[in-house]
A = this chain, B = another copy of it.
Amino acid sequence: MSARPARINLERLLSRLEMLGEIGQVIGPNGERGCARLALTDADREGRDLVVAWMRELDLDLHIDAIGNVFATYLGLEPDLAPVMTGSHIDTVRTGGRFDGNLGVLAGLEVIHSLQDAQIRPQRSVTVAFFTDEEGARFAPDMLGSLVYVGGLGLEEALEIIAADDGARLGDELQRIGYAGPVPCPGVQFPESFVELHIEQGPILEDEGFGIGVVEGVQGISWTELTISGQSAHAGTTPMRLRHDPVYAAAVITTFVRDLTRHHGGDQVGTVGRIDIHPNLVNVIGSSVTMTVDLRHTDERVLLDAEQRLEQICAEVAAEEGVEISHRSLARFEPVVFDSEMVRLVEEVAKDLGHRTRRMPSGAGHDAQMLARVCPSAMIFVPSINGLSHNLAEDTHPSDIAAGAEVLYEVLTRRAGTPLTASGVPEQE
C-alpha cells in the first residue's frame, strides 16, 4: 500500500488538527491534550474563525446559515447540480478530545485542498460543512445545527434555547460570536449525498482489528430520567421492614438494566450513568434519588420492548419498596438506517484501498443521521485508541487518520464524478 501515491496530504491534515486542537486546549493530569470548545463560546468562535480562514485560503464559496452552520463549497464543473457534501462539527464537550468532529471537518477540507493541488475539478461541487452545537453539551438537544438545517427543529425555537450551565440564550450567543448568518434555515437546496468521517468513539474496531468501520446506521436512543421518592430516616434506628429506600430501588433498576442487555443481547446497550441521592449521607436513608437510564438499539421494536420492561420493573420495585417513581424522557431518537447504496460505496472504496472493514451501527448520534432525512447519507469510522472519546486522552493513530481521509476522498470523488477518480485505486498499482 505504501507505494501508492497518497490522495491526501497527511502532514497538512495532522497539522491542522493540531492547530485547531490548541484552541481551548485542556491538559490532563497525565499530559493528555484535550479540548474544551463548548458551542458558541469564545473558544468556539476562535475555532470557527480559524477553520473559516482556511476555507477562505482555498477560495471556497462560503455560506453561513441562520443557526451558524458553515458551508464551504469547491465549485464543480457543473455548479448547478446539487453538491456532494461532507462535514461534521468543531464544538466539543467540556473534557473532549481533538478528533471528535474536528477530524470530519478538517479531512473534508483536506480532500478539497488535495483536489485543488492535483488540479482536479469534479463534475459536482464538493461542500465541506461544520454544524453548530453537535455535542449539545451547552445547549440541548445535541445535533442541534444539523437538526435545524434539515427542518427537524424550527429556527425560532432553537434560537430561544437557554444554556443549562450559564443561562445564556442561544440566539444571543450566536450573534455575539458573529455567526448568525444570512442563509435561511431549513436549507433550500439539499446536497446530492452526505458522507461523514468520524472517529468510532468506541473500542470495537481496535478490539477486533479492523481499519475502517462502515456505518450502516445509528442506534435508536432512549434517555429516561427517573425520580424516586422514598422516606428519609436514620440508618441506625429504622428497621428494615419500615424502610422506603430510594437508593435500594435505584440499585435494583441499575442491575435490571444490565440484565436487560443480557436478555436482548446483540447490539443492545444500557447504562446508568447518573445517580443523585438526597441527602447523600452515610447514616441517612435517602429521601429521593434522581437517576438516568440510557438505552440504545438499532431495532426500534427491541428498543420499545426495553423501554416497556424498564417501566415494568419500576412499577414492581415501587410497589415492593413503597417508593414513588416518576419518569421523564430526556431524549428519544428512533434508529436511523443509512442509504444502502452509500453504505455499499463506503465499503467498496475501503476494500479497494486494502482496508479490513466491518459493518457496524453507530452507538453515538452524529450530524449524518440528521442529513439522512434529506439525502442519501453514510459514515466512515476510524478506530479510537482504547475506545476513548469525550475524554482528554481521545486519540487515533495517524495511519488510521490517513486511511479514513483517503476513503473519504474516494467516496466524495466517486460520488461527485471525476474522470481522474480511478487513478489511484489499488488495482492499478
Contacts and interface: CB of A to CB of B under 8 A. Distances in A.
Which of A233, A248, A250, A389 neighbours the largest number of chain B CB atoms within 10 Å of its CB? A233
Interface stretch (A124-132, A160-168, A269-277): A269-277
A300 to B, nearest CB: 16
A274 B203 CA distance: 32
A107 interface: no
User: Nearest 5 pairs between A and B by C-beta?
Assistant: A202-B237, A236-B363, A251-B254, A237-B363, A235-B271
A308 to B, nearest CB: 20
Interface string A350-388: 000000000000111100000000000000000000011
A330 B254 contact: no
Contacts of A292: 282
A103 interface: no
Contacts of A239: 202-204, 269
Contact of A280 (B95, B247, B270, B273): B273
A361 to B, nearest CB: 9
A390 interface: yes
A283 B223 contact: yes
A132 to B, nearest CB: 20
Contact of A219 (B236, B242, B251): B236
Nearest to A248: B258
26 contacts: A95-B279, A201-B234, A202-B236, A202-B237, A203-B239, A223-B283, A235-B294, A236-B294, A237-B387, A238-B363, A238-B387, A240-B261, A240-B262, A240-B269, A245-B271, A247-B254, A247-B271, A247-B273, A248-B254, A273-B277, A273-B280, A273-B282, A274-B280, A275-B275, A275-B280, A282-B292
A233 B203 contact: yes
B274 A274 contact: no
A19 interface: no
Given A272-B248, A275-B247, A363-B234, A390 B200 contact: no
A391 interface: yes
A302 interface: no
A121 interface: no
Which of A235, A258, A365 neighbours the largest number of chain B CB atoms within 10 Å of its CB? A235
Contacts of A296: 235-236
Contacts of A275: 247, 275, 277, 280
Interface in A280-295: 280-286, 292, 294
Contact of A274 (B238, B282, B391): B282
Interface of A: 95, 200-204, 207, 219, 221, 223, 225, 232-240, 242, 245, 247-248, 250-252, 254-255, 258, 261-262, 268-277, 279-286, 292, 294, 296, 330, 362-365, 387-391
A387 to B, nearest CB: 6
Contacts of A390: 234, 284
A330 B387 contact: no
Nearest to A271: B235
A235 B269 contact: yes
A277 to B, nearest CB: 6
Contacts of A277: 273-275
B234 A364 contact: yes
A408 B282 CA distance: 32
Given A223-B283, A273-B281, 4 more contacts: A201-B237, A236-B363, A240-B261, A252-B255
Given A234-B390, A364-B237, A274 B269 contact: no
A233 B252 CA distance: 22
A204 B223 CA distance: 40
A153 to B, nearest CB: 20
